[in-house]
Structure formats: structure tokens, C-alpha cells
Chain A
Amino acid sequence: MTTTPVEHPSKQRRRHKLAINRLRESEGLDEAAVDAFVAEHAVPVVEGSKCTFLFRGEADEVWVRHRIVNQPQRVPMKRVPGLSLWWVTIELPEGSRVEYQLEIRRGEHYEHLNDPLNPHVAHSPVGSSSVCHAVGYTTPDWVLHDPDSRPGELHDLQFHSKALRRNTTSRVYLPARFRRTTSYPLLVVHDGDDYLNYAAMKTVLDNLIHRLDMAETIVVFSNPADRLREYPNYAAHARHISAELIPSLHERLPLIDRPDARCLMGASFGGVASLSVAYRKPDLVGSLLLQSGSFVFTDIGDEHGGGPAFDPVVKFMNRYRERPRKVAERMFMTCGVYEPLIVHNRSMVPVFESTGTTVRYVEARDGHSWENWRDRLRDGLSWIFPGPQRFVYE
């Protein structure tokens, strides 16, 4: 038997002293030294799994606010005595991507703001947040513009929906090299404009198709009016997708007319919308791509704690869980381990599998956010509609 000598923790601490602690313990620490420290370091300061958040300014209290489930979500920062520097170190596992804001109290006044020292900001329909990239996280290169990728085209598609009793606006993505003599699979995306604006989905499609990771696909980015009403198991929405939107696309574009060549996708409530449309319209689609689906359910009673918006979701999910049935041949699910929905998503995997559906489930150290959904697109899209890469040999 061999043993590996283990260093005493105090020795390890000395050897791996965090930058903030070296600063605090330095002699003659003053504002100029803090200026230099902030200029030298990217903020948050990431050292292994330790991420040190900083704030400079006058305040009575400062907190880091994040939404990592099962962790204190309002973490107080400490002030370096006599100076304008506030700090706190939070442990984040490798590969984590965490969105956060700072909360500042000055007297009775509370303010939420993005971290002024951190240039990384994520955007969403409800505003923006600062982003901490923990050690090991890198923004995938395929989400960034690649000048070698031939761009597809986006076209507006507007028509009046009898089912929804409103005008609808969708964007239709045609891949580069689109030809009317070829037939394409169809992907219907819920919250379409949000996927385009906050998850860089057009760039992602251009890149994945260019790199042969994904088949040339026609993608329709559909948009809701009131997503909290239309997305959780709403009959009119299912009618709109199945009897209006998809048939209208088939009339206009060369699409493969088979369920296995059609996929519905969505995130959060958009995931519920995708699942419920497939549930209401059997044989409409062969696959679903569900990201952080809001699959809230209860095992006992109806109390779910999600507020009224979740009532129809819980009713639908409870009914589905009572009598699960196959709604698609293949299902790609993703969820962030830092979001409260992780429990519900994990719980649904065996339920979907029990129906005979082939399920691929991917977790990430991320939250309920558009950049999380963006970062999982390659895994999902290349599995749902694989590109010709397996046929192409240089």
C-alpha cells in the first residue's frame, strides 16, 4: 500500500493565498494600491474554484445577489477597513457560469446594479446581469460570428391567426445555399425573437450548419403575445402551431413532410409549450428540444408555490405524470444545475423514458438563463438534426 503525503491545510493556504488576501495583508495598503489591484485583475478574480467579487465605493452594505439554488442568494461583502474596497469570495465549481448583480444599501436606499468592474454582461427580456465565468468556463467558439460561415437569411412571416385571434409575427431562417429543389427538416422555436436576440441563435445556426454539425434546416422563430397565457398547455396555441403555422410553412417552403423531420423547441415556459403541443397533437413532430422546461408538478395536492402563472402548468404536468404517454420519438432535454427547475427536469427524464421515448438529458453548471440555453444548442441541435459530418471525409 502506498500513501500520498497530505500537506497540512495551513501550508496549502500559505502557498495558495488568494490575491485579495495578499492585498489585504500588504503593508501600507491605500487607495492607490487598490487602484493598481483592480487594474491588474479581471473581476471577479477567479483563482481555481474561488471567485472573489469586488466593489469599490461608499456604501453601508453590499451584497452579491445570484440565483444559485440551495445556496444563500444574497451574499454579504466585507469592507477592507478604511478603504473603498468591498469583497467576498464564493466557491464555484469548474465550468460554472453564474449571473449576478450587486445590491447596495446607502442609508434607507437600496440599489441593484450590474458589477461595474466586470465587462461580462448577459441580456434577457427582463434586463441584464453581470456574469461570472468560473475556472474552466469558456464561451464556445461556435456562438461567435465566424467569417467563414456562410450566413443564412431571416425573413419575416406575418399572418392573422384565427386560433389565437391575433396577428402573429415569426421569423423564418433559410440556411445558406437554400435551394427550392431540396427538402429540409423544420424546427419550430418558441420565444423565437428571444432566442435570436439573447441566445445568438442565427449565428449558432450559421456556424453549426457550416461546420456540418447540424443538417441544413428551416427554422421558424415563433413569438407569443402573452407567453404566460399562450404557452402553458393552451389549446389555441396548439391549434395555431399544428393547423396554421406548420401548414403555412409547408405551402411556402420545401419541407420534408414527415414527423421525424419536424421538431418543436423552447425554454422555460416555451418548453412546456413544446411538450403540450406535442401532447395535444400526436404525430405532429418526431422530436422535442426542451431547455429548462418549467415542468413544475406536485405529488400531493395542488400547492406548488409558483404563483398563479404556474397553475395551468401544474395541472398539465400532474395529468401527464398520472398517465404518461409518448409524444415524440426523441427528446433532448437540458437544465442548469443552479436553477430551481433542476429537480423537476431530472424527475421527468425517467417519466419520458418510461413511454419509450429516446431521451438525451444534459446538465450544465449554469442557471435559468439565455446564455445557458445558447451554450447547449450545439449538443441539442446536432443530436436532433445531425449534420452530414459523419459522411464527409477530407
Chain B
Amino acid sequence: MPTEPHITFLGPQRTPRLDEVVASLGLHGPFATVNAGWQEREPEDELLDSMLGGRSHNLHLWRRMQQLWEADPEFAEADRERRDVLEEMQQLYLQGLDHAMAAITELHQHTPRNAWVMETALADTERIVRDLDARHLERVAEVHAEFWSRTTPHERAELAEAREAIAVELSDVEAVVIPGGHVGVLLGALHLFNIAPALDVPVVAWGAGAMALTERVVLFHDRAAHGPAVAEVFAPGLGLVKETVALPSARERLDLANHDRMAILARRFAPSRCLLLDAGAQVHVGADGRLPAGATVIGPAGSAQPLEAA
């Protein structure tokens, strides 16, 4: 069994080709599936299972999470409080971010008398945005750390039992498959049941599943119902894929034709690469957790381009 993560990111699976992908990877199962991001539709995994040749085992993390909260009300209440705090933090971070991003847009519209003056002002404002992102991510991580230290998961019988059972279920799988869905719920379930240490087998992930495996999860939607939303840092991910911001369904969700906007996005998260995961995408992450040459990323000028070899 490989000791380094061997991760494959896919584009959205509306026209599923998971069966071809696992065959091409030489994977035959058994597979563990983590579709907690589907929430109450977690059990509706017939298609997923059929794509995996009927050899998948659903870990049912979402259902287990509900059962755990029911069995341990004190833990459930602590978790609810944590979500409350995080929600307010996200809201306030977003308010600050909105203003900083609006300032960048305004600066771009300025007709410069001296080009270097404008470039300096833009760089300063973009630095403010990166600072906001970094501080927010740190604070979110602190809230999580404080929660785990306060709630002592190892001393909670129901949680310890569930973790142990899941570890057993994961012990004899050949690979783990993590589809998309609600990235917050998925990430919460992965952390709660401490799945990361078990991901030393091949992993195939897409959508929210891909985002959760990176170092930081960035939410984005340029085509939101109420107008383009500012991309926002949400939470630390599992960190198995390095220096990568995963952007699933990028063509649908991002205004890729707006190169100025995309260039800002690329600069904002550099040196991480903004990875575009559209239909048909298949990216084999190296054993070092880094993106391979040829993966489609947003280049410095804001256009989609293949990643050059390091």
C-alpha cells in the first residue's frame, strides 16, 4: 500500500466517467465513498456505486454525524456554538473583503497620471486583501482548535466508537472516493471522524471533495443569483494537496472571460495555483502533493493555461 497520497482530481461528474477513471488507474475496489456533502441525500448513492462496479462501501458520515449529535447533546450544542461563531466571522470578514475588493475595482478604473503610483496603490490594496484572507484563515483555525481542545473528542464514547468503526471500515479499502456537495458539511464530517490519516490510499475526488483535500477552501461564484460574489477564504482543508486552490465547475461559476478579475484572483492566492476543474478534467496530483505540469490553472494574465513544469 503506498504511503504517499496519490490523489486524482476530476471535473464535475454530470456525465459520469468515474468508471473509466478508476479502470485507468488500475483500481478494482473495494472502495470507500464519502458523500457527506450530499447531506440528507447521502443514501442515494446507487449511481456512484454502479460506477465503482458495485464494490463501494458508503461510510455514511453525514448520517453518523446526525446520530452523534443526537446521542451527545452537549457536543451538539458546542458544535452549534462553533458554527454560530464561524458564521458571524465569515460574515464580517466578507464585509471587510467586499470593501477591499471594491477599492481594487475603483483603482483599476482610475486613469493614472503616473503608472507606478497606480501600481503601488493597487499592490498595497491587494496586500490588504491577502492579509484579510490570512488573518481570517488563522482565526477560523483557532476556533476549530479551541473547539477540539474544549470538547475532548477522545473522551467522548460515541465519537470514539464511531471513529474506531470507520477506521476499521477503511482498513481494507483499495481507494477512497469523495464526490462534491456542501463543502462545509463535507469538511466538517472529514474532521469529525478524523478521516485524513486514512487517506494514504489512492483518492479520487471532485467538486467539494477536491476542495476539501487542499490547504485552504475558497468559495467563489461569479454567477450567483444576486450578482457576482467576491471569492472568500472559508476554512483550512485537509492539506493533502499543496499550494492549490481548487475551483470546481470553473466555467460555470467563474467569469473566466474577465481576465482582469481572474488575474486578481490568481495574484491573491499566489504562490498557490488556481486549479480549474471543469467537465473532463483529470489531474493526478504528485506524490509530493503538488500539481502536475499540464494542469489547467489561471495564469498571471488571468487566462486559463497549462501549468508549466517546475
Contact = CB atoms under 8 A, between A and B. Distances in A.
Interface of A: 177, 208, 211, 213-214, 360, 378-379, 382-383, 386-394
A389 B180 contact: no
A393 B248 contact: yes
A360 B219 CA distance: 22
B226 A393 contact: no
B249 A394 contact: yes
B239 interface: no
17 contacts: A177-B40, A211-B225, A360-B226, A379-B225, A379-B226, A382-B224, A383-B226, A389-B225, A390-B220, A390-B221, A391-B234, A393-B180, A394-B12, A394-B14, A394-B207, A394-B248, A394-B249
Nearest to A378: B225
A378 B206 CA distance: 29
A109 to B, nearest CB: 49
A195 B307 CA distance: 52
A177 B219 CA distance: 25
Contact of B224 (A208, A390, A393, A394): A390
Given A177-B40, A388-B182, A393 B211 contact: yes
A379 to B, nearest CB: 6
Contacts of A391: 182-185, 208, 219, 234
B229 interface: yes
Task: Tell me the dominant secondary structure on chain B's binding face.
Answer: mixed
Interface of B: 12-14, 37, 40, 180-185, 206-208, 211, 219-221, 224-226, 229, 232, 234, 248-249
A278 B8 CA distance: 53
A386 B91 CA distance: 12
Closest 6 CB pairs of A and B: A382-B225, A213-B225, A383-B226, A393-B207, A394-B12, A393-B248
Contacts of A392: 37, 180-183, 208
Contacts of A379: 225-226
Contacts of A378: 225
A211 B225 CA distance: 10
A191 to B, nearest CB: 23
A248 B13 CA distance: 45
Nearest to B277: A393
Contact of B229 (A211, A360, A390, A394): A390
Most-contacted residue by chain B among A360, A379, A393 (CB, 10 A): A393
Given A382-B226, A394-B180, A389 B13 contact: no
Contacts of B13: 394
A393 B225 contact: no
A382 B225 CA distance: 6
A202 to B, nearest CB: 18
B208 A393 contact: yes
B186 to A, nearest CB: 9
B213 to A, nearest CB: 12
Given A389-B225, A390-B229, 14 more contacts: A177-B40, A213-B225, A214-B225, A360-B226, A386-B226, A389-B224, A390-B220, A391-B208, A392-B208, A393-B183, A393-B208, A393-B211, A393-B248, A393-B249
A331 to B, nearest CB: 14
A372 B220 CA distance: 30
A177 B40 CA distance: 9
A388 B183 CA distance: 10
A392 B211 CA distance: 11
B183 to A, nearest CB: 5
A378 B225 CA distance: 7
A110 B293 CA distance: 78
B161 to A, nearest CB: 22
Nearest to B12: A394
Contacts of A214: 225
Contacts of B219: 390-391
Nearest to B252: A394
B116 to A, nearest CB: 31
Contacts of B232: 390
A393 B219 CA distance: 9
A375 B180 CA distance: 31
Nearest to A382: B225
A177 to B, nearest CB: 6
Nearest to B38: A392
Among A213, A386, A390, A392, the one with the most B-chain Cβ atoms within 10 Å of its Cβ is A392
A77 to B, nearest CB: 40
Most buried by A among B207, B226, B248: B226
